[in-house]
């Protein structure tokens, strides 16, 4: 992102730009397994048993649909060669807003009231062997 930010790429060496791009790709690769596994965990914790599969499927497919939509829209919005450096800014802004909202407003990893009987049972299971 920083290596292609408008105005900064002129003052950076190509080696630094490549290094920053490589680091960003590594971080993205590490985050992808979380992006695909997290919807199932959220669905089990936040939805009743009958709704959890549908919620999990919708969350997973919305992630994939978002990727496909972004991949399809990008060449249309940034067809001109001069706009390519603004592409990262255009995709960074909604990402930064979503990140800020999640940091500010997500306060708990569990709902205030368990959504199902199995969630109540899971919340009372204590694994003493995990403690040191």
Per-domain residue ranges for the chain? 2-130
DSSP state of 107: -
pLDDT at 57: 92
pTM over cut 0.85: no
pLDDT at 103: 93
pLDDT at 106: 87
pLDDT at 129: 55
Q: What is the pLDDT of residues 11-39, one digit of tens each?
A: 788 888 888 889 989 998 998 888 888 88
pLDDT at 9: 67
Long-range contacts of 33-37 (CB under 8 A, 24+ apart): 35/63, 36/60, 36/63
Low-confidence ranges of the chain (pLDDT < 50): none
Contact 46, 115 (CB under 8 A): yes
């Amino acid at each position: 992102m920083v290596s292609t930010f408008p105005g900064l790429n002129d003052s950076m060496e190509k080696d630094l730009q490549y290094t920053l791009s490589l680091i960003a790709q590594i971080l993205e690769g590490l985050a992808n397994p979380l992006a695909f596994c997290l919807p199932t965990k959220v669905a089990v914790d936040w939805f009743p048993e009958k709704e959890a599969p549908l919620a999990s499927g919708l969350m997973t497919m919305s992630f994939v649909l978002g990727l496909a939509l972004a991949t399809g829209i990008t060449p249309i919005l940034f067809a001109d060669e001069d706009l390519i450096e603004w592409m990262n800014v255009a995709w960074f802004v909604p990402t930064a807003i979503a990140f800020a909202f999640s940091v500010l407003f997500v306060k708990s990893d569990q709902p205030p009231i368990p959504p199902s009987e199995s969630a109540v049972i899971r919340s009372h299971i204590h694994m003493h062997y995990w403690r040191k």
